[in-house]
């Protein structure tokens, strides 16, 4: 299992969610966050998401998936979030040792989707 974390532009969220849904990736956590990339927040202000100081408004997606869904998840996020401009975002992929559905006690791949 993998835990996929993506930080994207807020105005790309709807498109990313649409593409994820098309690939039957439905379970997701979404947070409003602030952050900065390698331009240190300076050059992206024109995109209209400036927050405070050097930090810009972003959206963070967290998706836990079985291995066969890693590639489609990355594809959907990349396709939905890419404009070619700086600040399009980044995807981080972490090994996920365990997942437990609280209601049933199911574990691992059974609990994840």
Q: Could you list the residues that contact ligand ATP (CB under 6 A)?
A: 7, 35-39, 56, 58, 86-90
Q: Which does 35 bind (CB under 5 to 8 A by kind): Mg ion, ligand ATP, none?
A: ligand ATP
Asked if 35 is part of the footprint of Mg ion (rule: CB under 5 A), the reply reads no
Nearer to ligand ATP, 2 or 57 (CB): 57
Gap between the Cα atoms of 112 and 27, Å rounded: 9
Can you read off the two tokens belonging to residue 69?
């869904």
Q: Does residue 37 interact with Mg ion by CB under 5 A?
A: yes
Judged by DSSP in three states, 60 sits in strand
User: Residue 25 or 61: which CB sits closer to ligand ATP?
Assistant: 61
- Give the list of residues 6+ apart from residue 39 with CB closer than 8 angstroms, or none: 86, 87
């Amino acid at each position: 299992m993998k835990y996929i974390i993506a930080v994207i532009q807020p105005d790309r969220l709807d498109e990313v969610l649409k593409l994820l849904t098309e690939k039957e990736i439905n379970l997701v956590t979404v947070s409003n966050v602030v952050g900065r990339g390698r331009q240190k927040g300076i050059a992206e202000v024109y995109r209209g998401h400036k927050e405070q100081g050097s930090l810009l408004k972003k959206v963070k997606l967290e998706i836990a998936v079985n291995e066969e869904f890693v590639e489609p998840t990355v594809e959907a996020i990349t396709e939905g979030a890419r404009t070619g401009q700086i600040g399009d975002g980044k995807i981080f992929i972490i090994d996920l040792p365990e997942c437990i559905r609280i209601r049933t006690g199911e574990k691992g791949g059974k609990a994840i989707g």
